[in-house]
Amino acid sequence: MKLAFATANSNKAAEIARLLPDSFEIVTLKDLQVTEDIPETADTLEGNAHLKAAYVMGKYGVPCFADDTGLEISALGNRPGVRSARYAGEHRSDEDNMQKVLSELENQADRSARFRTVIALHLPDNKMEFEGIVEGEILHQKQGTEGFGYDPIFSPEEESRSFAEMSMDEKNAISHRGRAIKKLVDYLIKLHS
């Protein structure tokens, strides 16, 4: 089955490609030669995931799944949330985003946080949603060099390491995205069995 994954993030595509069975051919925005920015104007993760999947399926005619992920920090009222990728502003970097979070949590005792991923799947006759959550905490400083985004400052529950100190396989086994993708894959396999 050919499925489009609505992302320009090669790190995400690599993570997900490792989780999907060979019976699925995954094409990315680059494969489809999508150069325009896909609107992410919703105020929820669910809304943005559906916007992206609908856009790609509507314009390119390929069944599509799209994800949106947010880091939700208790002490910050679940910010950055849906604004995680642009938390430090439009011309932000991963480093800028992490520094803003660390600065805002400087005097906070409660460092509990969670990563939440929502995947929207748009098929010709069906729309589905899958969610993955991993609880954890924000570290006091960056640890590790793997991964991307907030991985160096997030430590999942029952771990002393950050996501950035884990191999991709270790992270996928417990990550929010890994959990949501497992639900997506289980659904697709049942659908085509």
Catalytic residue, chosen from 22, 37, 43, 68, is 68
Which residues does 69 contact at the CB level (< 8 Å), separation at least 6? Answer: 45, 84, 115, 116, 117, 118, 176, 177
Question: What one-character DSSP code corresponds to residue 107?
Answer: T
Query: Alpha-carbon distance 96 to 88, whole Å?
Result: 6
Higher pLDDT residue, 177 or 19?
A: 177
What value does the mean pLDDT take over residues 60-67?
A: 94
* Domains parsed from the chain with CATH numbers: 2-191 (3.90.950.10)
| pTM of the predicted model over 0.75 | yes
Give me the mean pLDDT over the 127-151 stretch: 96
User: On the CB side of 180, how many CA atoms lie within 13 Å of its CA?
Assistant: 28
Asked which of 12-16, 68-72, 99-103, 130-134 is least confident by mean pLDDT, the reply is 12-16
Token pair of 125, please? 């006759």
- For 185, the token pair is 């894959």
Amino acid in the structure at residue 114? R
Please give the pLDDT value at position 127: 96
Please say if 31 is a catalytic residue.
no
Instruction: Residue 113: name the closest of 176, 36, 177 by CA.
Output: 176
Amino acid symbol at 82: V
pLDDT mean over 87-108: 93
Distances (CA, A) of 123 to 14, 23, 63, 144, 191: 22, 17, 5, 38, 11
69: helix, strand or coil? strand
